[in-house]
Structure 1
Amino acid sequence: MPELPEMENYKNLLKVKLMNEVITDVQINREKSINIHPDLFKKTVQNQKIIDIKRRGKHLLFQLQNEQTLLLHLMLGGWMFFGTDSEKPDRTIQVRLSFGQKHLYFIGLRLGYLHLYHQNQTEEKLADLGPEPLNPEFTINEFLNRIGSKHGRLKTTLLDQSFIAGIGNCYSAEICFHTGIRPTRDIDDMNEEARGKLYNSMQLILQDGIKYGGYMDNPVFKGDMLTGGFNDRCQVYDREGQPCKRCRTTIVMELISSRKTYYCPNCQK
């Protein structure tokens, strides 16, 4: 599932391609991927200029000239591709936004969605999300205050979108590895020094994830050499049974709240 770095990468790349471009056509192949009648969706979106693309947590917000917002959540298996009809992947397309001869294809939206809201409604839909971890206002003191009220396993807390927005299965594992703490550890057993290290690791890993284009390697457009570059930099995520790149101990996978959790039993205490 795309997480904060993947969605930030999508935002950055698509802003270059789509800012101030007009949506010339809309194609809906799966009505369940949108939230209103297809005719109204098309009428509201078509001929509108994209004036900004923002990210909130794991969501992208395509802001239109008419004060409407397309709210995207890719969920599990969702991704996007921008290009001509001849360049598009041989995959089922749920929604297509056209910009002349080029199109933005929304692929794999079986669980994800592209919903249309007025800007005020969008803010309400996202009101339950926690702070952005890379926002300069989200200081270490703010983090310590927030985690001070949490209990239970570290992994579960990092995945809680009301606690911090944007972290999922991959980056929670990588953050814990960088911190040197097992994701199975109880927060109550972490002292302030360990919590401070966790904050610093979160900042570094998420910034690295963005820098290297996230871990999901489907290109956003033909010739995209950035997207997916973080995949080879993952230390523990999806590496069960492989040797730790640091100490050569075998990476372990456990289930926590039905989520696969990866760690090195030697490097993480």
Structure 2
Amino acid sequence: MPELPEMEHYKMLLNEKIAGKPVTDIQINREKSINVNPELFTNTVRNQRIMQINRRGKHLLFELQNGQTLLLHLMLGGFMFFGNEAEKPKRTIQVRLSFGDHHLYFIGLRLGYLHLLSTNEVKERLEHLGPEPLQADFTENGFLKLLNKKHGRLKTTFIDQDFIAGIGNCYSAEICYHAKIFPTKDIDDLNERYRRTLYHSMKVVLQEGIQFGGYMESPFFKGDQKTGNYRELCQVYDREGELCNRCGATIVMEEVSSRKTYYCPNCQQ
């Protein structure tokens, strides 16, 4: 599932490709991927300029000229592609937004969605989300105060969107590896030094994820050489049975709250 770095990477690419451009046509192949009837969706969105694309947690917000917002959550298996008809992937397209002869394809939206919402509806939908971990005003002391209120396993806490927005399976594992802490460790067993280390590791890992285009493998456009480059830099995620790059031990996978999590049993503690 795309997480903060993947969606931030998408946000930057989308602002380059479509910001300021009008939606010239719309194709809806799966009505369950939207939240209103197709006619209303089309009439509201067609001919509207995409003023800008913002991100909140794992969501993208396509801000329309008329004040409405398209709220996107890709969920498991979802991705986007921008290009012409000849370039599009040979995959089922759930929704297509056209910008002249180039189109933005939404693919794999079986669990994900593209919802048309008012400003107030967006606010209500996202108000439960925790702080953005890379915002300048989310300080180390702010992180410590939040963590002091939590109990239970570290992995479960990090993927809780009400705690901090945007972190999921991949980056929770990578953050814990960077901090040399077991993701299965109980928060109550972490001293202040480890808690401060977690904050630093969270910043480093998420920024690196964005810098290298996230871990998703599907290119965003033809000739895209950046999207997914972070996958090769993952130290533990999806590397069960491989050797740790830091100590040479074998990486293991364990289920925590029904979620796969990966770690090195030797150099994490």
TM-score range for the pair, normalised by the shorter chain length: over 0.9
Which AA in structure 2 matches 1:254? Answer: E
Report whether the alignment pairs 1:180 with 2:180.
Answer: yes
Query: Normalising to structure 1: TM-score of the pair?
Result: 1.00
SS state at 1:202 partner:
helix
Deviations 1:170-200 (A, max 9, x none): 0000000000000000000001110000000
Which AA in structure 2 matches 1:160? Answer: D
Q: Distance in 2 between matches of 1:146 and 1:195?
A: 11
Q: Distance in 2 between matches of 1:192 and 1:246?
A: 24
Offset of residue 231 of structure 1: 0.2
Structure 2 partner of 1:249: 249
SS state at 2:229 partner:
coil
Which AA in structure 2 matches 1:223? Answer: G
Which aligned pairs between 1:82-97 and structure 2 lie closer than 5 A?
82-97=82-97
Structure 2 partner of 1:67: 67
Q: Distance in 1 between matches of 2:148 and 2:171?
A: 21
Structure 1 partner of 2:120: 120
Q: Distance in 2 between matches of 1:202 and 1:4?
A: 12
Which AA in structure 2 matches 1:128? Answer: H
Report whether the alignment pairs 1:132 with 2:122.
Answer: no
Structure 2 partner of 1:157: 157
The total of aligned residue pairs comes to 269
Which aligned pairs between 1:8-87 and structure 2 lie closer than 5 A?
8-87=8-87
Q: Distance in 1 between matches of 2:46 and 2:119?
A: 17
Structure 2 partner of 1:230: 230
Structure 2 partner of 1:205: 205
SS state at 2:162 partner:
coil
Which AA in structure 2 matches 1:184? Answer: T
Offset of residue 123 of structure 1: 1.1
Gaps of 5+ in 2: none
Q: Distance in 2 between matches of 1:203 and 1:76?
A: 24
Q: Distance in 2 between matches of 1:113 and 1:164?
A: 22
Q: Distance in 1 between matches of 2:119 and 2:28?
A: 22
Which AA in structure 2 matches 1:112? Answer: G
Offset of residue 23 of structure 1: 0.1
Report whether the alignment pairs 1:258 with 2:263.
Answer: no
Q: Distance in 2 between matches of 1:96 and 1:159?
A: 30
SS state at 2:134 partner:
coil
Offset of residue 248 of structure 1: 1.1
Q: Distance in 2 between matches of 1:242 and 1:225?
A: 26
Deviations 1:88-135 (A, max 9, x none): 000000000000100000000000000000122111110000000000
Offset of residue 217 of structure 1: 1.4
The CA RMSD over aligned residues, in Å, is: 0.4
User: Taking every aligned residue pair, what percent have the same amino acid on both sides?
Assistant: 68
SS state at 2:98 partner:
strand
SS state at 1:237 partner:
coil
Deviating more after overlay: 73-82 vs 113-122: 113-122
Query: Normalising to structure 2: TM-score of the pair?
Result: 1.00
SS state at 1:142 partner:
helix
Q: Distance in 1 between matches of 2:53 and 2:124?
A: 18
Offset of residue 82 of structure 1: 0.3
Which AA in structure 2 matches 1:233? Answer: L
